Amino acid sequence: MYGAPPLTRLAPLALLLLAGFALPLLLPQYFLYLGNFLMMFAVLALGLDLLLGWAGQFAFAHIAFFGIGTYATALLNVRLGVPFVVGMPLAAMLAGLIGLAIGFPATRLRTVYLALATFAFAEAAQWVFNSWDKVTGGPDGLRIAAPNILGYRVGTDPTAFPVMAVILALVIAATMYLTTSKFGRAMCAIRESEHVASASGIDVRSTKAWAFAISAVYAGIAGGMYTLFQSFVNPDVFGFQQIVLLLSMIVVGGLGSIPGALIGVALLGLLPEVMRTTMRGLLIWQELVYGLILIGAVMFMPRGIWGFIAGRRGSR
């Protein structure tokens, strides 16, 4: 379970890359749009899962870093003409730095308090996006100029799709390495019991703060991905509902597992589209159905769908 992942585990990523280049030639833009959306959310979910599922840190600030990543990448492009290949990493690093800064004081707090403090930070960040008119455009939002990747012009669903797939594949591979590394082991140990971890020689505070920072970098990357296929951003995207959605995705899919996070994203990401097409006359019931699904998931599959499947298969 630990040590560098064998190449066979990396095989599905090749499939992802293949799909990334082939599907834009086959599918209408609507499906590519959904795909782009899911890939962006997958990066978000993996980042949150690192912090919540692997390190056991109950932190809700993720969506704020997503916003920072999106606005920063977009603004660097629109205002300063910084190309995407430079802009996105810069934005992701900015998110990571802020994550680190939050991580140190936040890790003094336990569970519920950590959740509330980070949640408050996320809401405060959304207020800033909404009020800092000069920079973010405030409530009117920001139009995103089509990014340019070394001469290849992105900005539409078919052109963005392969790039998103490449970024996602890299992120998944990085996550695999991270979770099976010494750092990954340290995060798991902290999740189980901070006292025991500390007694085993792990620097708990530093590990937690770095987990925050890395998770924030993921969110920043996802923010950069947003600018690849969307033409407009406004503060409403970075609110409480999105955090709830993200959380639901990884819980329903299965905490602390990469396939779990991906399954959760696919299921809950596509659920609104499925409901929309199947519930034509009953649209008003969507909220109720969504709530029932969430409750059902935690009641009957506490380890998430992946945990359920893995348990059935007997592998652990």
Partner 1 sequence: MSPLLLQGVASGIVTGCVYALIALSLVIVYKSSDVINFAGGEMVMLGGYLGMFALLWLGLPYLLIFPFGALMIFIVGALFDRVVLTRVVGRAIPGQSILVAMIIGTVGLSYVLKGAVRVIPYTEEVRRLPPFSSGAPIFVGPVVLQHQDIAIVVAAVAIMAALWAFFSFTLVGKALRATSQNPRAAALVGIPVRAMSMTAWGLAAALAGVAGILLAPKLLITPDMGVIVILALAAAIIGGFVSLPGCVAGGIVLGVVQNLIGLYVSSRAISLAPFLVIMIVLLLRPQGLFAGKAAAKKV
Partner 2 sequence: MSVIRTTLFAAALAVVLSAPARAADPGITDSEITIGLFAPMSGPLAAFGLDALQAARMWYEETNKKGGIHGRKIKVIVEDDKCVPNEVVAVVKKLITVDKTFIVHGGSCTAAAVAAQEFVTREKVPHVMLNASGDGAVIPPTRYVFGAFAGTQRTVGATLAEFAVKELKGKRVAVIAHDDDFGVANSTTFKAVATALGAQVVAAELISPRVTDVTAPLLTIRAANPDVIVSTAYPGPAVLIGQKYGEFAMMKTPLVQAIQGIPVPSVYAKNVGNDAALANFYYGSPLNDLTEGPKQQKWLALYKQYYPDRTPSGFMTYGLPSAMAVTRALEKAGRDVTRESFIDAMETLNFETEVIAGPTAFAKDRRDGARSSIFVKFDGKAHTLMPGVYTWDGKAGM
Residues in contact with partner 1 by CB under 8 A are 52, 56, 58, 105, 108-113, 115-117, 119-121, 123-124, 127, 131, 191-195, 240, 244, 247-248, 251-252, 255-256, 284-295, 297-300, 302-303
**Long-range contacts, 75-80 (Cβ 8 Å, 24+):** 75/135, 75/136, 75/142, 77/144, 77/145, 77/147, 77/227, 78/142, 78/143, 78/144, 78/145
- Residue 37 touching partner 2 (CB under 8 A): yes
DSSP per residue, 22-79? HHHHHS-HHHHHHHHHHHHHHHHHHHHHIIIIIS-----THHHHHHHHHHHHHHHHHH
Cα R_g (the chain), whole angstroms: 19
- Name which of partner 2, partner 1, none residue 247 binds, using a CB cut-off of 5 to 8 Å depending on partner kind: partner 1
* CB of 182 or CB of 300, closer to partner 1: 300
- Residue 276 touching partner 2 (CB under 8 A): yes
In angstroms, the CA 104 to CA 182 distance is 20
Map the footprint of partner 2 across residues 237-266, applying CB under 8 A. Answer: 237
Cβ atoms of residues 216 and 55 within 8 Å:
no
Size of the site for partner 2 (CB under 8 A): 30
List the x/- string, 137-176, binding to partner 2 by CB under 8 A: -xxxx-x------------xx-------------------
* CB of 272 or CB of 296, closer to partner 2: 272
* CB of 81 or CB of 302, closer to partner 1: 302
Residue 122 corresponds to which amino acid?
A: A
* CB of 9 or CB of 185, closer to partner 1: 185
